[in-house]
């Protein structure tokens, strides 16, 4: 027997019992059956028809039954607009969910697959998309081996949400990777990426951190184009923001050189966390200092990049994300090059 038939039988039994002896438990039973009907996607008109058929079978005065049945028939007709609206809303939700899944699949296809694991560097990434009610975003990450034990780390965010932002993200990621592999200085890589963004035809802006870790020394250099500052965790556990090399965001049509952070020494065991603003936005919107909360969350941490990502996610990311969250964590191990 179908769920609808089961529900109709239970509704009839409950209605007959309630008419014979109206009480609070009968009303609670009606509420429970209504909730079941919603979950089972039973329409309003089907529920009224069940009610009408039950009333038609009541014993007693036939004129009174006809009066009540006619009233149910009138009610069912008046609810037809609600039924169509409910069905249309449900179908729109289903289409939106399918479209979101397709867009999310496209977005993920534009991100790198398995990242390389350079000798002397441990790494981990996380990409946590926003909820289905939010369109896909333009967050991205990448790791590029540059030769000579130098490694490029990138985290960026095309501002806004939607397919256009995701498509722009894919083009920026590939363009930046190409500029890095041509061995341009990192400020020139960022400049060319800025020109690429401006050439895409729509007014868009993006933020980005491009960092280069030289494992032979080791040191950290970076250009920060309007992005939240990376966090450096010393081997002792002390956490601080890398604030140098901070310049304007991309897409503003200004021909200005981006500042570059002078090589910053990295002690073996140091960790670096790059992230997108979805990690701190919830705190900022609530009036809190998201950056300081992040620093305090990381202060005293010791562990692998995987453990770092898990720790940050557990402490700072809730289940109702309004924006994507992208994390790229690395730790300098000080392991010598096999070559």
DSSP characters for 201-267? SS---EEEEEEEEETTTTEEEEEEESPPPPEEE-TT--EEE--TTEEPPBSS----PPP-EEEEE--
Task: Say if residue 199 is in the same domain as residue 322.
Answer: yes
**Host domain of residue 71:** 3-78
Residue 183 phi/psi, 5-degree rounding, is 65, 40
Helix (DSSP H) and strand (DSSP E) numbers for the chain: 10, 11
Residue 23, helix vs strand vs coil = coil
Instruction: Give dist(CA 241, CA 259) in Å, integer.
Output: 17
Task: Outline where DSSP puts E strands in 148-218.
Answer: 150-161, 206-214
- The dihedral built from the CA positions of residue 90, 91, 92 and 96, taken in this order, carries a sign that is positive
Residue 277, helix vs strand vs coil = helix
**62: CATH:** 1.10.1240.30
Cis before 218 (ω within 30): yes
Residue 89 lies in a domain: no
Task: Say if residue 62 is in the same domain as residue 120.
Answer: no
Instruction: Give dist(CA 42, CA 202) in Å, integer.
Output: 45
Q: What tokens does 180 get?
A: 């890095």
Task: Say if residue 295 is in the same domain as residue 146.
Answer: yes
Q: Spell out the per-residue pLDDT of the chain, length 339, in tens.
A: 467 778 778 878 887 787 788 888 878 887 887 787 777 777 777 878 887 787 787 777 777 777 777 767 776 766 676 666 766 666 666 666 655 565 566 656 556 777 888 999 999 999 888 755 556 678 899 999 999 899 999 999 998 877 788 888 889 999 999 999 999 999 999 999 999 998 887 768 999 999 999 999 899 999 999 999 999 999 999 999 999 999 999 988 766 778 899 899 999 999 999 999 989 988 877 788 889 999 999 999 999 999 999 999 999 987 666 678 999 999 999 765 544
Residue 34 lies in a domain: yes
Residue 199 phi/psi, 5-degree rounding, is -85, -5
* Cβ pair 173, 138 in contact under 8 A: no
* Cβ pair 4, 42 in contact under 8 A: yes
Place of tokens 């070559």: 339
Measure the CA angle with vertex 85, ends 81 and 87; round to 5°.
Answer: 115
Residue 191 lies in a domain: yes
Total domains present in the chain: 2
Task: Say if residue 74 is in the same domain as residue 130.
Answer: no
Q: Which of 23, 55, 78 corresponds to the end of one domain?
A: 78
Residue 98 lies in a domain: no
Task: Say if residue 181 is in the same domain as residue 282.
Answer: yes
Q: Say whether pTM exceeds 0.75.
A: no
**304: CATH:** 3.60.40.10
Q: What tokens does 80 get?
A: 């037809």
Residue 145 lies in a domain: yes
Query: What was the pLDDT predicted at 150?
Result: 95
Q: What tokens does 192 get?
A: 């060319």
Task: Say if residue 245 is in the same domain as residue 163.
Answer: yes
Query: What was the pLDDT predicted at 92?
Result: 63
- The dihedral built from the CA positions of residue 236, 241, 242 and 243, taken in this order, carries a sign that is negative
Residue 145 phi/psi, 5-degree rounding, is -80, 125
Name beta bridge partners: 241. Answer: 231
Residue 274 lies in a domain: yes
Q: Which of 78, 108, 134 corresponds to the end of one domain?
A: 78
Burial of residue 147, with CB atoms counted within 10 A of its CB: 0-12 exposed, 13-18 middle, 19 or more buried: exposed
Q: Which of 29, 62, 78 corresponds to the end of one domain?
A: 78
Residue 185 lies in a domain: yes
In angstroms, the Cα distances linking 100 to 80, 104, 116, 133 are 30, 6, 30, 8
Residue 13 lies in a domain: yes
């Amino acid at each position: 027997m179908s769920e609808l038939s089961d529900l109709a039988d239970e509704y009839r039994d409950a209605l007959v019992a309630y008419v014979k002896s109206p009480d609070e438990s009968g009303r609670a039973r009606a509420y429970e059956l209504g909730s079941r009907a919603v979950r089972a996607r039973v329409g309003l008109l089907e529920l009224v028809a069940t009610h009408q058929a039950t009333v038609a079978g009541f014993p007693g005065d036939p004129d009174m039954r006809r009066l009540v049945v006619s009233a149910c028939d009138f009610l069912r007709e008046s609810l037809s607009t609600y039924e169509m609206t409910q069905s249309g809303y449900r179908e729109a939700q289903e289409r939106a969910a399918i479209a979101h899944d397709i867009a999310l699949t496209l977005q993920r296809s534009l991100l790198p697959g398995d990242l390389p694991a350079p000798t002397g560097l441990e790494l981990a990434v996380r990409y946590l998309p926003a909820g289905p009610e939010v369109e896909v975003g333009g967050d991205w990450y990448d790791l590029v081996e540059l030769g000579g034990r130098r490694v490029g780390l990138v985290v960026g965010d095309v501002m806004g949400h939607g397919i256009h932002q995701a498509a722009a993200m894919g083009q920026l990621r590939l363009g930046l990777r190409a500029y890095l592999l041509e061995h341009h200085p990192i400020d020139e890589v960022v400049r060319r990426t800025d020109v690429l963004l401006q050439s895409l035809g729509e007014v868009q802006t993006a933020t980005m951190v491009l960092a280069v870790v030289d494992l032979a020394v080791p040191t950290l250099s970076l250009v920060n184009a309007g992005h939240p500052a990376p966090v450096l965790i010393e081997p002792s556990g002390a956490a601080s923001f890398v604030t140098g090399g901070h310049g304007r965001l991309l897409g503003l049509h200004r021909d200005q050189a981006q500042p570059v952070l002078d090589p910053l020494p990295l002690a073996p065991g140091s960790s670096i966390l790059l992230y997108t603003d979805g990690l701190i936005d919830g705190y900022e919107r609530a009036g809190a200092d998201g950056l300081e909360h992040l620093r305090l969350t990381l202060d005293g941490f010791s562990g692998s990049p995987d453990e770092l990502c898990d720790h940050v996610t557990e402490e700072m990311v809730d289940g109702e994300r309004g924006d994507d969250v992208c994390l790229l964590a690395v730790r300098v191990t000080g392991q010598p090059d096999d070559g």
